[in-house]
């Protein structure tokens, strides 16, 4: 009834919806971030790879260069406001503009309410929530100058529903939803769209480490009967970053295969 393995959506696209747009993608070294960087480049964007892991960031940068795409690698810890401001300054010095921001960087340190440590709580919120705040504060003034900008924040279905043993992650992702809506209200008058994507179970390196019994449980509860692919999430992100989504702002788009709808 269902495919045994997720369909792989081609990265290359015939469309050029993002032609010559400068797009910053955080956490672009693997998973959804990497798929987004490749997808946006295939649609004509000049892609800035923002990644704290030098090895994975360099790998994606090389792949884009080999494909003849315009790309820039900037190692950066998005939780560090000074580092983020320096990253944006480097992009402006290199290309003189910045039209798209995808806030994807993140990680998790699982824990229940009574077992989560202060360090784990602060580390997860620092990257997900403070990182999203830092990058938006750094790029929006440049978008205001051009009266144009597209921001897509990657949240999670857990940000809407919560999850046992994911206290920090769920809180951070819920915070991103509130931040997305607040900023969308604030900057809409400047021609800037701010939206969020809420992935469900997605076949990323992080999920690959999840015990099979948990993945199988989620898949059983997913109407489409499978995990999503990073490319499928990237397709929605790229749409929201394009002018085809020009009348969407403050939207929180679930890409979950129907899980927890």
Active-site residues, by number, are 169
b (16+ CB within 10 A) / e for 90-124: ebeeeeeebbbbbbbbbebebbeeeebeeebbebb
- Helix spans in the chain (H): 31-42, 54-66, 81-95, 118-125, 131-146, 158-161, 167-187, 205-208, 212-220, 230-240
b (16+ CB within 10 A) / e for 45-71: bbbbbbbbeeebbebbbebbeeeebeb
Report the half-sphere exposure of 154 (CA within 13 A, side-chain side): 29
- Tokens 């924040």 identify what position? 153
């Amino acid at each position: 009834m269902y495919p045994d393995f997720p369909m792989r959506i081609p990265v290359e696209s015939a469309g050029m919806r993002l032609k010559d747009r400068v797009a910053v993608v955080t956490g672009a070294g693997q998973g959804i971030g990497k798929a987004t960087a490749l997808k946006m480049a295939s649609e004509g964007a000049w892609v800035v790879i923002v990644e704290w892991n030098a090895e994975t960031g360099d790998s994606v940068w090389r792949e884009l260069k080999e494909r003849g795409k315009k790309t820039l690698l900037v190692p950066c810890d998005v939780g560090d406001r000074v580092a983020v401001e320096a990253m944006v300054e480097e992009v402006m010095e290199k290309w003189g503009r910045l039209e798209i921001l995808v806030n994807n960087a993140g990680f998790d340190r699982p824990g229940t309410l009574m077992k989560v440590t202060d360090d784990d709580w602060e580390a997860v919120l620092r990257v997900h929530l403070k990182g999203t705040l830092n990058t938006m504060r750094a790029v929006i003034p440049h978008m205001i100058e051009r009266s144009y900008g597209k921001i897509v924040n990657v949240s999670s279905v857990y940000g809407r529903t919560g999850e046992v043993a994911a206290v920090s992650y769920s809180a951070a992702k819920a915070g991103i939803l509130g931040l997305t809506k607040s900023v969308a209200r604030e900057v809409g008058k400047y021609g800037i769209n701010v939206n969020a994507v809420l992935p469900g179970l997605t076949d990323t390196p992080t999920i690959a480490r999840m015990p099979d019994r948990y993945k199988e449980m989620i898949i059983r509860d997913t109407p489409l009967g499978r995990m999503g692919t990073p490319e499928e999430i990237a397709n929605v992100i790229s749409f929201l970053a394009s002018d085809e989504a020009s009348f969407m702002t403050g939207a929180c788009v679930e890409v979950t295969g129907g899980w927890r709808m």
